[in-house]
Structure 1
Amino acid sequence: MQGSLNSTLAKGKVVLCFQTRAQRSASVAVETVRKARGVGVIFAQFLTKDIASSFDVPCVQVDYQVGTVILAYTTSMRNPTVQFGSAKTVLGEVIGPEVAYFSSRGPSSLSPSVLKPDIAAPGVNILAAWTPAAAVSSAIGSVSFKIDSGTSMSCPHISGVVALLRSLHPNWSPAAVKSALVTTASVHDTYGFGIVSEAAPYSQANPFDYGGGHVDPNRAAYPGLVYDMGASDYVRFLCSMGYNVSAISSVAQQRETETCQHAPKTQLDLNLPSIAVPELRGRLTVSRTVTNVGSALSEYRARVEAPPGVDVSVRPSLLAFNSTVRRLAFKVTFRAKLVKVQGRYTFGSLTWEDGVHAVRIPLVVRTMVGRFYANS
């Protein structure tokens, strides 16, 4: 923070700065050092792959382990020194995608039966247009473009893909577009391994990190099957959550609210391209319906990767479409193997395959014995 450095001590010195996740404003720290007449900054911070910013004061970023070694050096030497050298660029194979540490995670606290997030998209170190009216910092000044990270970077990627899908399939509903994105997303990195979550340490990511996976625009253009919905489906879902007709009328047309009297008691049957069961006690069956948007004559077989500790069966396990049959329903039954164990969330998937398409949805299940208000 400005004024936090003693100018007498910092003058002509390189300042070692330990950053926490909540203190990510390197530009403020650099400006503080510059005003204290320091000549450089060493940032010890959480391991990240962010692109280092460019400042008018020499800076370098190291992880906490290296930062601790530097701190030990400075405290053990009477006159510790820093040597400035020319920058080097190291090229190599980039492993990705990874879920950034700042990305929002699930489950949803309001509707745990609705898997969140839905999808992952590029959002780290994106070159974006920037208004000169908003100076990045007094050290950098006004710019027209800026490397930025966050949801404000990943959202435009998805918005652009949605626009392309709508131009290719103008008759698709928003739910169909969303389904195409989720069911064709990738859950593997460039080497074919599972996507990892950026944390300390790195760990295997799961649907609470990326939803259906990392967006794949080319595959989303021809998904084969979609999990479609209309306004009445959402209204019935709101009814099942306990909202009354008056509340629902504020966001839906009057004729749609009439479906409340036929609303299901469960929220699990909303035709989403995912199945999240926050409380599995013994046995539970969930319904889904798919619409064929590919070849009229096609057959899809179900392939299940069951969440650990849960048996999963699909009926029917074969879906046959033709020119007159475009929509087919199926049921997924979950059975807890360890009915006396209070479990944590486990993850699996259900994929419909016809030899060309692989329509994959995540399965998220937590087995429960009693009603406990905790994460496990």
Structure 2
Amino acid sequence: MSGTSMAAPHVSGIVALLKVAHPDWSPAAIKSALVTTAWNEDTYKSEIYSEGEGDKIADPFDFGGGMCNPNGATDPGLVYDMDKNDYLNYLCSLGYSNDKMQNATTLFSKTKNSTSSGIICPNKVPSRLDLNLPSISIPNLKNSVVGNVNAIYKVVIKPPRNTVVKVSPHILKFNSKSKKNSFEVKITSTHQRMSKFTFGSLAWNDGKHFVRFPIAVRKQL
């Protein structure tokens, strides 16, 4: 057996262990910990090859974040977290009406725009890209520190081929009063023609934790 039939029970077991170790973590935080601490090399520190495709080196479309690292996931350093408002804003960005929102969820957001009917989307429609996943498809990402409170993380960029990746700020500082941070990622193509997907990664490193997520870019005219 291979693929999903083996991955699903293994990941489920690791998730159960993480929930015991961190009962206050949300599903999004657990997913983030699994993705950002995963290995993208095999047990011999060699590149992973795509199954059934000869000598093709596997990419994030083949293995996602990589091979799960249970011990690393218990202490990821940073997590990309989400709460109910992130999900509700995402539904708003997809164009769901207030009635459809209520049919899709039992959550009711008590904001200044709320009425007795429940959820009201913000006047300014959120970007559908602004969902805080451990992925480069988001232009603005929020981080929560779950490790050492007083920590300084420096960015480590491995840009996809024919791209320039800029991150601002390039250093994230955390302390007892500042446990969340945000950063912006800008990707510019140096290639003038259409291309296939190329891959890279972005990580935050504090000397102990290496919080990595994959980047996938395709140039389109």
Give yes or no for TM over 0.5. Answer: yes
Q: 2:28 matched to which residue of 1?
A: 175
Deviations 1:297-346 (A, max 9, x none): 110000100011111000000001001100000000111112x3112211
Q: 1:206 matched to which residue of 2?
A: 59
Please report how far the alpha carbon of residue 150 of structure 1 lies from its aligned counterpart in structure 2 after TM superposition: 4.5
Of 239, 245, 248, which residue of structure 1 is paired with 2:92? 239
Letter in 2 for 1:233: D
Letter in 1 for 2:87: Y
Letter in 1 for 2:15: V
Q: 1:76 matched to which residue of 2?
A: none
Q: Distance in 2 between matches of 1:346 and 1:150?
A: 23
Q: Distance in 2 between matches of 1:263 and 1:155?
A: 35
Letter in 2 for 1:366: R
Contact 1:168 / 1:221 at 8 angstroms: preserved in 2?
Answer: yes
The 1:328–1:219 alpha-carbon spacing in structure 2 relative to 1, beyond 3 Å, is same
The 1:311–1:150 alpha-carbon spacing in structure 2 relative to 1, beyond 3 Å, is closer
- Root mean square deviation, CA, Å: 1.6
**Quick one: percent identity of the two aligned structures?**
44
Deviations 1:153-208 (A, max 9, x none): 32111111111101100111110000000000000012212211112313101111
**Does residue 1:291 correspond to 2:152, yes or no?**
no
Three-state SS of the structure 1 residue aligned to 2:184 is: strand
Contact 1:301 / 1:318 at 8 angstroms: preserved in 2?
Answer: yes
State how 1:307-318 maps to structure 2 within 5 Å. Answer: 307-318=160-171
- Provide the aligned length of Structure 1 versus Structure 2: 212
Of 175, 189, 194, which residue of structure 1 is paired with 2:47? 194
Provide the TM-score with structure 2 as the length reference.
Answer: 0.90
Contact 2:98 / 2:121 at 8 angstroms: preserved in 1?
Answer: no
Three-state SS of the structure 2 residue aligned to 1:275 is: coil
Q: Distance in 2 between matches of 1:335 and 1:267?
A: 20
Q: Distance in 2 between matches of 1:262 and 1:155?
A: 39
Three-state SS of the structure 1 residue aligned to 2:218 is: strand
Contact 1:307 / 1:365 at 8 angstroms: preserved in 2?
Answer: yes
Q: 1:75 matched to which residue of 2?
A: none
Letter in 2 for 1:365: V
**Does residue 1:352 correspond to 2:213, yes or no?**
no
- Unaligned ranges ≥5, structure 1: 1-123, 125-148, 278-285, 370-376
Please report how far the alpha carbon of residue 262 of structure 1 lies from its aligned counterpart in structure 2 after TM superposition: 4.1
| Runs of 4+ that moved beyond 3 A | 259-263
The 1:347–1:150 alpha-carbon spacing in structure 2 relative to 1, beyond 3 Å, is closer
Q: Distance in 1 between matches of 2:125 and 2:26?
A: 22
Of 133, 140, 158, which residue of structure 1 is paired with 2:11? 158
Q: Distance in 2 between matches of 1:304 and 1:351?
A: 6
**Does residue 1:226 correspond to 2:75, yes or no?**
no
Contact 2:130 / 2:140 at 8 angstroms: preserved in 1?
Answer: yes
Q: Distance in 2 between matches of 1:298 and 1:358?
A: 13
Three-state SS of the structure 2 residue aligned to 1:188 is: coil
- Unaligned ranges ≥5, structure 2: 110-118
Three-state SS of the structure 2 residue aligned to 1:258 is: coil
Q: 2:177 matched to which residue of 1?
A: 324
Structure with the larger RCO, 1 or 2 (CA within 8 Å, 6+ apart):
2
Structure whose alpha-carbon radius of gyration is higher:
1
